[in-house]
Amino acid sequence: MKDYECEKLKALAIIISENLTYAPEDEVIRKIKEKIPELTESEILDWINCAKRLLFKEEYLTKEIKKELKLWDNID
């Protein structure tokens, strides 16, 4: 695995382990940028979304969370 890919996974691990999944996005971006400055804001937002998916089984997702995840999936 390339170092850059490891950095992305590290960002995901930080988001989950520091309970940042539902923290304000600006706060999450700031904290991740302090530790991994080479990641873009867009990449960090992608990993926040990924963390939300990993933390919940489909049957536990609320309509609000499902809607937010769908919005993130459609960004491009």
Q: What pLDDT is attached to residue 1? A: 46
8 CB neighbour count, 10 Å cutoff? 19
39 is written with which tokens?
């990641």
Quote the domain boundaries for residue 36: 3-73
Distance between CA atoms of 56 and 60, rounded to whole angstroms? Answer: 6
Please state the pTM of the whole predicted model: 0.67
Q: Are 72 and 65 in contact (CB under 8 A)?
A: no
pLDDT digits (tens, 9 = 90+) for 1-47: 457 678 888 998 999 899 998 899 999 999 999 999 999 999 999 99
CA-CA-CA-CA dihedral for 20, 72, 53, 48, to nearest 10: -20
Q: What pLDDT is attached to residue 44? A: 93
Question: How many domains does the chain fold into?
Answer: 1
76 CB neighbour count, 10 Å cutoff? 3
Question: Is residue 68 scored above 60 in pLDDT?
Answer: yes
